[in-house]
Structure 1
């Protein structure tokens, strides 16, 4: 069965693109869009290392953690980060270098906990009360 070709425009549609199809462009577009929506930033300016640096840290994070965990980490970072007049946006470089190490362990632990619960329900037929007590 031939693989389907995903265009750059489709990759930019991070809200509807399946997580399995995410790449660096998708994550970068998410960060740019969230800066526009949350902070009113119309022109995204990358971190000090430039776009290549940011693309590299995004690619590494996607490889290490996967698109689902990275997406959740980015959403949490934007929910809790407060910009200042000196730093009016949240760049991909800053987010992944400084914020991700604090948030990602929480995201991964919650995903593992959820996976254990789903496995227990499917395999063991545990009741909701037993699961709550187990957690």
Structure 2
């Protein structure tokens, strides 16, 4: 799965990533926040499905998940973190990653606009 480009990931790929990364980082199996179908529904709503467009890019979602994993400090009572927990309790992390993505997008838009301006001047 890791060899697959993130732009090609689907809900199943994100679920596998959560499981693999959770086990690697915390040494315990991943457990969903409630039911698997609920978490997968949230992922599908965010990245989109074959029938419906998502609200955010797959790259954004992976960065959000990674940021949550990086920030989480396991305890004896809570040895791991779930995607449902991330969505519910890590809203400041979501906003920080979202802001970074918006800034990056604006910079890329400005750079591509500048490139076209230069081409037009040259022509």
Given that residues 22 and 67 in structure 1 are in contact (C-alpha distance below 8 angstroms), is that contact kept between their aligned partners in structure 2? Answer: yes
SS of 1:34's partner is helix
Task: Please list every run of 5 or more consecutive structure 2 residues that lacks an aligned counterpart in the other structure.
Answer: 48-53, 116-123
* CA RMSD, 1 decimal: 1.7
2:109 aligns with 119
SS of 1:65's partner is coil
Pair 124,45 (structure 1): closer, same or farther in 2 beyond 3 Å: closer
Task: Please list every run of 5 or more consecutive structure 1 residues that lacks an aligned counterpart in the other structure.
Answer: 1-12, 126-135
Given that residues 26 and 79 in structure 2 are in contact (C-alpha distance below 8 angstroms), is that contact kept between their aligned partners in structure 1? Answer: yes
TM-score (norm 1): 0.71
1:53 Cα deviation from its structure 2 partner: 1.7
Please tell me whether residue 45 in structure 1 is matched to residue 31 in structure 2.
yes
TM-score (norm 2): 0.77
SS of 2:55's partner is helix
Runs of 4+ in structure 1 over 3 Å off? none
Given that residues 46 and 54 in structure 1 are in contact (C-alpha distance below 8 angstroms), is that contact kept between their aligned partners in structure 2? Answer: yes
State the number of aligned residues: 109
Pair 88,117 (structure 1): closer, same or farther in 2 beyond 3 Å: same
